Amino acid sequence: MKVDLSKYSILCGCGTTHEMKTCMVAIESGAMKKLGEYMKLYGFTGRCCAVYDKTTYRITEGMHPACQQEIVLDPEGLHADEKSTAYVLSILEPDIEIMIAVGAGTIHDITRYCAHERGVDFVSCPTGASVDGFCSTVCSMTWYGYKKTMPAVAPVMVVADTDIFSNAPVELVRSGIGDILAKFTALADWRIAHIVTGEYLCETIYGIVDEALQSVANGIDDILTGSPKAYEDVMYALVMSGVAMQMIGNSRPASGCEHHISHMIEMRTPALEVEYVAMHGEKTGVGSVIGARVYHELARIDDITPFLVPYKPVDPEYIQEIFGDGLKDAITEENENDVLAKVDNKVFAEKWPEVKKVIAGIPQADEIYSMLEKLGAKKDLSDIGIGEDKMDIVIKASPIVRNRLTLMRMRRLFNFY
């Protein structure tokens, strides 16, 4: 399939003109060989440098786009960090005008960072359907040992070849599906925040992510049979989720309570005693099961009025206890302008029937769990390096890693929190 994204750059029904850097997405068999043609078609005719790692160079043999320069990195110990980017920038020819990433997350982050540094265009060729960040405007770097989100450029086009990404290691697509199923709770959180506080919500953007999500959820069985169409749906959903984030300028449409669970693990929060850090989509998939369970339990309450308590800021002692000396300052700062303070308990109680309707649209936790189970994907905390006895901490503390209004964060307004 080929999607022209210029149709989204018009004045939207929400009253905003969404700025789009990505003008075209092609997800199809043989797409790599057509890359040059597509670039010409959209006016990207400058001098190109393609960045690969040895593996992606080998698996795309015979399909490499004609480029003035090729950089092939050693995947052994390769990270998106200050060393790999300095190396690429040091050998990058000075007159390169377009950088093409051929690979998965790390190659994308290295390339988009360097493209941003050089101020040149960036083209994305994902080789695995693993994560929804291909269209992102930021990159996730490890800078002198610290995880950091840094400014980068969004791709001018995404060209994903089904023949390549549908043959990638199966863990990649499992993780990609986990990042998509996460949208059940992410979208619900966005809608709930909109209902309760009037937070901005664009129906077009919401619809893009929702439609992509439904097609993946309905195609789980086809993934198991290796159907190229089902793989394309996953890649499409991942790319469009990135497009949605680009349209709004933040991760709201794609990230809610389940991503906060993932972030909390990634930060190696001491109270969780994280054994190892699983792949992004593995953590968000598990996070989505947990979120769905908590939300459906809440929805069993008909009238929340007797359970609501006045707002209180996050307890500094609790932050210290869970996050320890290393993280407490960052977490305290994150919660300084707590979005929860904006919630009026009276309005929350009045709107509760509407909130319940939103929750009813999320599949039951067991359903999401069985989708992951069917795929052979990670589904429990113990599958992703966290003890099951840490469940209460995950539910209670994960919303405070990010100052974004989710129903999980709103649990602090209940007397049983």
Q: Which stretch binds Zn ion (CB under 5 A): 56-64, 203-211, 330-338, 395-403?
A: 203-211
- Round to whole Å and give the CA distance between 139 and 147: 10
We find the least distance from the C-beta atom of residue 280 to Zn ion, in angstroms, to be 6
Provide long-range contacts, Cβ within 8 A and 24+ apart, for 332-339: 334/400, 334/401, 334/402, 334/403, 335/400, 335/403, 337/403, 338/313, 338/314, 338/403, 339/197, 339/403, 339/404, 339/405, 339/409
CB nearer to Zn ion: give 14 or 78: 14
3-state SS of 207-218?
HHHHHHHHHHHH
Q: According to the binding rule CB under 5 A, does residue 202 interact with Zn ion?
A: yes
Residue burial 369-404, b: 16+ Cβ < 10 Å; e: rest: bebbeebebbbebeebbbeeebeebbbebbbbbbbb
H runs (alpha helix) in 119-219: 162-165, 170-181, 183-197, 203-218
**How many residues in the shown chain lie near Zn ion by CB under 5 A?**
5
Site map 133..172 versus Zn ion, x via CB under 5 A: ----------------------------------------
We find the least distance from the C-beta atom of residue 310 to Zn ion, in angstroms, to be 34
CB nearer to Zn ion: give 120 or 202: 202
DSSP conformational letter for 362: S
We find the least distance from the C-beta atom of residue 133 to Zn ion, in angstroms, to be 7
We find the least distance from the C-beta atom of residue 208 to Zn ion, in angstroms, to be 10
DSSP conformational letter for 380: S
Q: Which of 55, 142, 197, 204 binds Zn ion (CB under 5 A)?
A: 204
CB nearer to Zn ion: give 19 or 275: 19
Whether 50 contacts 65, CB under 8 Å:
yes
DSSP assignment of 383-408 equals GGT--GGGHHHHHHHGGGGS----HH
CB nearer to Zn ion: give 118 or 283: 283
Q: According to the binding rule CB under 5 A, does residue 179 interact with Zn ion?
A: yes
CB nearer to Zn ion: give 167 or 204: 204
Q: According to the binding rule CB under 5 A, does residue 339 interact with Zn ion?
A: no
Q: Which stretch binds Zn ion (CB under 5 A): 194-202, 214-222, 229-237, 390-398?
A: 194-202
DSSP conformational letter for 65: P
Site map 7..36 versus Zn ion, x via CB under 5 A: -----x-x----------------------
We find the least distance from the C-beta atom of residue 51 to Zn ion, in angstroms, to be 23
- Residue type at 321? E
We find the least distance from the C-beta atom of residue 216 to Zn ion, in angstroms, to be 13
Q: According to the binding rule CB under 5 A, does residue 201 interact with Zn ion?
A: no
We find the least distance from the C-beta atom of residue 179 to Zn ion, in angstroms, to be 4
- Round to whole Å and give the CA distance between 245 and 176: 16
Q: Which tokens in the block code for residue 128? A: 């695995």
We find the least distance from the C-beta atom of residue 417 to Zn ion, in angstroms, to be 26
Q: Which stretch binds Zn ion (CB under 5 A): 67-75, 116-124, 204-212, 356-364?
A: 204-212
DSSP assignment of 262-301 equals HHHHHTT-GGG--SS---HHHHHHHHHHHHHHHHHHHTT-
What residues line the site for Zn ion (CB under 5 A)?
12, 14, 179, 202, 204
